[in-house]
A = this chain, B = another copy of it.
Amino acid sequence: MKFSPLVDELIQSLRCLPGVGPKSAQRMAFQLLERDRKSGLQLADALDKAMKDVGHCQSCRTFTEESLCPICGSAKRGHADTICVVETPADVLAIEAGGHYSGRYFVLLGHLSPLDGIGPEELGLALLEQHLAGGEINELILATNPTVEGDATAHFIADIAHRYQVSVSRIAHGVPVGGELEYVDSTTLALSFNGRLPL
């Protein structure tokens, strides 16, 4: 025991948060105890509710406490004929912030990673296949990350889509607009050459 049991337990528990080591857990605990007990109680309550009640959207797998997330539940987009496949709910947010896409999403909550025991089942691909088999979907846009695992996942899903004669595309990767060529990493640069378009 370093401090009193309840303080020790709080410091220890804070370490479940990604990126929080012993020193920052201590700092967090003391800050809440000294200056912000109300926020600490609010966080306790938010954690408790979220851990108990948040499940997955029955259509796209994103996190929601309802059976359908706001997008899948909307009259306008819930039956769109395009599905964009992303790895995380944060990716949905990034694409929505752009405001250019009006189809549905499918959130894998990860990527294929056999060494970590993450296969097609963990990514909910049976549910995605149901959507493809249903005949409502015309196009599948693969927006997994441009990493080895993201690429492998994209190819795996493309193969499924081909079986259902659904057209598949992958979002373009390359030099970002406003980015300076010399500061772009070599993998991105290679992708931007491979994806070059005729002018």
B40 touches A47 (CB 8 A): yes
Q: How far is the CB of A51 from chain B (nearest CB, A)?
A: 4
Do B54 and A39 touch (CB < 8 A)? no
Q: A9 — which chain B residues lie within 8 A by C-beta?
A: 46, 49-50
The 4 closest A-B CB pairs, nearest first, are A16-B39, A44-B47, A13-B46, A4-B64
Asked if A177 CB lies within 8 Å of chain B CBs, one says no
CB < 8 Å neighbour of A31 from B18, B28, B64: B18
> Are the C-beta atoms of A27 and B18 separated by less than 8 Å?
yes
Q: Inside 8 A of A24's CB, which chain B residues have their CB?
A: 18-19
B6 touches A90 (CB 8 A): no
Q: Compute how far the CA of A90 lies from the CA of B11 in the bound complex, rounded to whole angstroms.
A: 12
Question: Is A43's CB under 8 angstroms from B14's CB?
Answer: yes
State in angstroms the CA–CA spacing of A27 and B27 once bound together: 20
What residues of chain B lie closer than 8 Å to A39, measured between beta carbons? 13, 16
Judge if A2 is at the interface, Cβ distance under 8 Å.
yes
Whether A30 contacts B70 by the Cβ 8 Å rule is no
A52 on interface, CB distance cutoff 8 Å: yes
Interface residues of A (CB under 8 A from B): 1-7, 9-10, 12-14, 16-19, 24, 26-34, 36-37, 39-54, 62-66, 69-70, 88-90, 93, 109-110
Q: Can you tell how many copies of this chain the complex includes?
A: 2
Determine whether the beta carbon of B16 is less than 8 Å from that of A40.
Answer: yes
> Which of chain B's residues have a CB closer than 8 A to the CB of A27?
18-19, 90
CA distance A4 to B29 in the complex (A): 28
Tell me the bound Cα distance from A66 to B6 in angstroms: 10
A18 and B12 alpha carbons, distance in the complex (Å): 16
Given the contacts A1-B70, A37-B51, A50-B6, A42 and B16 also touching, CB distance less than 8 Å: yes
* Residues of B contacting A31 in the complex (Cβ-Cβ under 8 angstroms): 17-18
